[in-house]
Amino acid sequence: MKKNNYTITAYTENTVGLLSRITAIFTRRHINIKSLNVSETEKKGISRFTVVICETEDMTSKVVKQIRKIVEAMYVDFHTDNMIISTQLGMFKIKMVEEQYANNVRLLAQKFDASEMARSGNMIVFQKTGNREELEAFLAELRTFGEVEYARSGRVALSIRSIPLRKIMALLPAMHNYEDNYTMDHHGELEDLEVSMNGNSMH
């Protein structure tokens, strides 16, 4: 089966040791995590995991099924790249071969919509948001002016058709009884679930 990039999103309780338990699910299946981001949500005590993998839909759905079995996992879903809005943050520290290159480096940063964060002598630090390809394109051109140190964050993403967290929490009893063999064909069923409970669209 063909492998694609999938973004897995999980809302969980903020519990010590939960990160290692979730990553262990991928390790046991020899799945490489391309990107991992964990952050607080708009509700205190609730964390959002965003995990990017390159796998088949079948394997991704099995991973999601396993994460859903973790007691602290409130809601887990997965999406292809065309179903989400996402970005990453890159930081670039360049030590220029010649300080006279500074103006050229700044023009390059403007071309790539990167902003200057700090400057000291022949060293400049830039930051830029975008997808991995955009960040690495800036990195490649920046290297022509000197030595570059590069750091990139994990992906942050929002589904184009996502359920607000407050509604997820309201639906928790029904979601915990949700069928185990979860695949992408079930995405719309969560909408049907909410409609059946309150007669309103979730959007």
For residue 73, the SS3 value is: strand
Task: Look up tokens 């989400």; give the residue.
Answer: 84
Could you tell me which residue, 18 or 44, shows the higher pLDDT?
A: 18
Instruction: Tell me: pLDDT of 154 over 90.
Output: yes
**Angle ∠(88,94,100) on CA atoms, nearest 5:** 135
Confidence category of residue 162, pLDDT binned at 50, 70, 90: low
Average of per-residue pLDDT across 116-142: 95
Instruction: Tell me: pLDDT of 25 over 70.
Output: yes
Strand 84-96 and strand 115-120: the pairing is unpaired
- Strands of the sheet with 46-55, listed across from one edge: 33-40, 46-55, 4-13, 73-80
**Angle ∠(23,27,30) on CA atoms, nearest 5:** 140
Instruction: Tell me: pLDDT of 176 over 90.
Output: no
Q: What is the 3 state secondary structure string of 127-196?
A: EEEECHHHHHHHHHHHHHHEEEEEEECCCEEEECCCCCHHHHHHCHHHHCCCCCCCCHHHHHHHHHHHHH
**Segment 57-101, tens digit of pLDDT:** 999 999 999 999 998 888 899 999 999 999 999 999 999 877 778
For residue 65, the SS3 value is: helix
Average of per-residue pLDDT across 12-25: 93
For residue 67, the SS3 value is: helix
Q: How many CB atoms lie within 10 A of CB 36?
A: 18
For residue 122, the SS3 value is: coil
pLDDT at 122: 87
Q: What is the pTM of this model?
A: 0.76
